[in-house]
Structure 1
Amino acid sequence: MIQEIATKIDMVSNEIIDEYFEDHMRIFESDNEKKREFYKTISIKQKRWSKQQTCIVEGCSEKSIKRSHTIQKSGPIASVSRNSLVYVPEQDYKTGQLVIKSKGINEASTFPGFCSEHEKIFSSFEEDKNLFSEEAITLQLYRTVCRELFRLSVEQEMFQKQMEEYISFRDSKFLLMTKERLTEKWLKENDVNLTSISFREDSLLKALEKNIQEIAETYNVIESQHLAQLTEAIKNNNEKSLNASVVNVDTLIPVAMSGFGAFHVTEDRRVLVFIGVYPNVEKNETCIVLFSSSEDKDYFNAYMNQFTNILDLLNIVERFMVRGTDHWFIHPQLWDDMSEQKKQTILSETIIRGKGIDFPLDYSIFDELRSEIIEYAEAVELPLEEQNKLASEKEKLNKAFKSDS
């Protein structure tokens, strides 16, 4: 009798599990319940970003200020603002989609990173509208790396909590569905009291576990390589030891950006590259900074050697916007003038992250600037190779996007 009861319970529970494997979403009674479960752990992310934390500087136990700017408010952020507002891509926690939101320049590019004392190390250039010295560039890279470490730690905590919450929700649903299918009458007749049902072979959880592991591995690489090398350079006033490239462009690229992207050199070897894009509207120029670890020097140099002119640099910026980081701030007018289809293409590719920063875009983000550069280049005699590049750049401008008119 006991064996028969156990066999029936196994049969019913396995039947439910098989149905779940066919469609993981069947355990949700409605879209609202699904959204509620998947996004209720988002509050962890929101709280971490909005509350004071322990200062990120190693060995400091002081509380951080609430808003440390990653990118300077005065200068880069202000240069891409309209009425003290910039546009930034952020995740809509109700839909899970990436959307463009308006943000004031006081809040843009901030995180609770440094205590008031360590915040002072950036004061020499924080109010300045330019990055003049190697020291200033190194300090800017330092807080860019610190901000990314903070972001990764928040995401790891959020995904870990999300996994725990989902397991609890899934198992409670399995228990309820099993009881319903066995029927209350059968459970009473056979004196069965089911209290829990659980299993581990879940592809959805494996995907979450893989995501958490990848975040942890990325965090460890950045902390042990990029942060360590920047800290050492600052400590010893040896900025030249860094594996970095700084280019000043005599035109305004209407986006401010910091973060990192990556490309694979083998299936198992990934190179992380940090970027900073700092426009200066008053001088009509843009400073572009790229940085990688000394361990990846040869790969980084080979990557950078592909880019020889201003159009190439514009392509780097566009690649990082879509294939690298979503920590960018764009001039509202530029975004408003785009067709809705083009906006959605940029945002959908940004959130998918299917390709690395070694994959070019087949369309243009900065149409007006690209057109001006092409027009200028066509006025001079160019080698055949450069002419072919121009033809490719024109094709990006001609990429078909439906207008909204």
Structure 2
Amino acid sequence: MRPNKEAIEFDNSVENAVKKYLNNKQAYCMYPGCNMHAISSHTISKKISLNQISENGILFSPESKRMYPEKKYGIGEIGINDASTFKGFCKIHDEIFFSVDKNGIKSQKDVFLQVYRVLNFIIFNENVINKMAPLFYEKLNTSLKNENIKKIIERGKNTATEANEIRIKKLNKYSSNILNIINAGGLNSATFDEEAFLTLDITMDQDIQENSHNKNEDNLIIVHRKVNYHIPVAMATKVSFSLNTQGKEDELFLICIPYENYSDLIIMFAKGKSLFAKNNHYLHYIYNDLNMLELIEKTMVNSEDWWMSPREWY
């Protein structure tokens, strides 16, 4: 089957729009109140983490490959200088992550700093979706002849746009709350012991709870575990998948940071909405190594924001 010219042109327009957004030299710092231009920086430390899993400066990561007449999901190479990067912070505010990038996660404050950076990485990517969406709807609108179907598509567009705006608003509030805790001081800066296990119950401010029936349902649980072995994949992502047979989806933030001889794992979820929180179900995944690795693998299937050692793929 020969490729559809119109489909290819549309595909190219979407890719070009994304590239233009990602390469925008006028991107501004995401730190509150800062209007300086953002630089491209890593979400996961290049020096002490990505270097440990790369081969000749190369990592493997999910990508969409054009295999005419359609695109297929696959795994491709990505350079270490591009892996996990985004234009989130200016040069000055990127320095707040200096200790995490140099020494890894050594304290409670470091956990919050890494969570804050990943949240902004996710927000940045959500904004990419916002940039792509109008192209998709424009394509649908011009290709449809039936006015009733066009109206249905328009309602769907409005619903999706509203849902995405709510999602980004909540992510921004999570980010704001985490940053407030960091800036307030008082976080434990003591170095973790080996095999450290930390659970933090974070109360969100009133603003983020304004649309909640249960005022505690958006409070966050952040769990950190330092494991004494090397996990050959770096991850900074938010996923939704079902943990039970009823099909109810859980939203989970997962961060995996591999080092030479050990790894840091951070999971975060909304306390009142997640099956992870029910009866401390998250302990099932964090304390047990096999369950923890199963969770990482399941997250990889449902996410694009991970980077793996090439030697582990073959």
Q: Under a length normalisation based on structure 1, what TM-score does the superposition of the two structures give?
A: 0.61
Once the two structures are superposed, residues 287-343 of structure 1 have per-residue CA deviations (whole angstroms, 9 ceiling, x without a partner) of 1111124554785363303223111111111111113x21111111221x2xxxxxx
Question: Contact 2:250 / 2:275 at 8 angstroms: preserved in 1?
Answer: no
Distance 2:271 2:172 in 1: 13
Residue 253 (1) aligns with residue 231 (2): yes
The structural deviation recorded for 1:269 is 7.9
The structural deviation recorded for 1:38 is 4.0
Distance 1:297 1:115, change over 3 A: same
Distance 1:93 1:303, change over 3 A: farther
Question: Contact 2:100 / 2:114 at 8 angstroms: preserved in 1?
Answer: no
Distance 1:146 1:318, change over 3 A: same
Distance 1:205 1:99 in 2: 32
RMSD of aligned C-alpha atoms?
2.9
1:272 is matched with: 251
Amino acid paired to 1:305: L
Q: Which runs of 5 or more residues in structure 2 are unaligned?
A: 188-199, 203-220
Q: How many residues align?
A: 276
Amino acid paired to 2:49: P
The structural deviation recorded for 1:263 is 4.5
Question: Contact 1:275 / 1:289 at 8 angstroms: preserved in 2?
Answer: yes
Q: Which runs of 5 or more residues in structure 1 are unaligned?
A: 1-28, 175-197, 338-405
1:61 to 5, 25, 35: 35
1:49 to 8, 12, 22: 22
- Identity, % of aligned positions: 21
Question: Contact 2:60 / 2:76 at 8 angstroms: preserved in 1?
Answer: yes
Residue 143 (1) aligns with residue 117 (2): yes
Residue 237 (1) aligns with residue 185 (2): yes
Greater relative contact order (Cα < 8 A, sep 6+): 2
1:290 is matched with: 267
Structure ID, larger Rg:
1
Q: Any residues of structure 2 matched to 1:258-337 within 5 Å, and which? A: 258-263=236-241, 271-281=250-260, 284-296=261-273, 299-300=276-277, 302-307=280-285, 308-323=287-302, 325-335=303-313, 337=314
Amino acid paired to 1:233: I
Residue 157 (1) aligns with residue 106 (2): no
Once the two structures are superposed, residues 235-258 of structure 1 have per-residue CA deviations (whole angstroms, 9 ceiling, x without a partner) of 223555532111112211111111
Q: Under a length normalisation based on structure 2, what TM-score does the superposition of the two structures give?
A: 0.78
Q: Any residues of structure 2 matched to 1:21-170 within 5 Å, and which? A: 31-52=4-25, 53-65=27-39, 67-92=40-65, 95-128=70-103, 130-167=104-141, 169-170=142-143
When you count strand as a share of all residues, which structure comes out higher?
A: 2
When you count helix as a share of all residues, which structure comes out higher?
A: 1
Amino acid paired to 1:278: I
3-state secondary structure, aligned to 1:314: helix
Question: Contact 1:229 / 1:293 at 8 angstroms: preserved in 2?
Answer: no
Distance 1:294 1:232, change over 3 A: farther
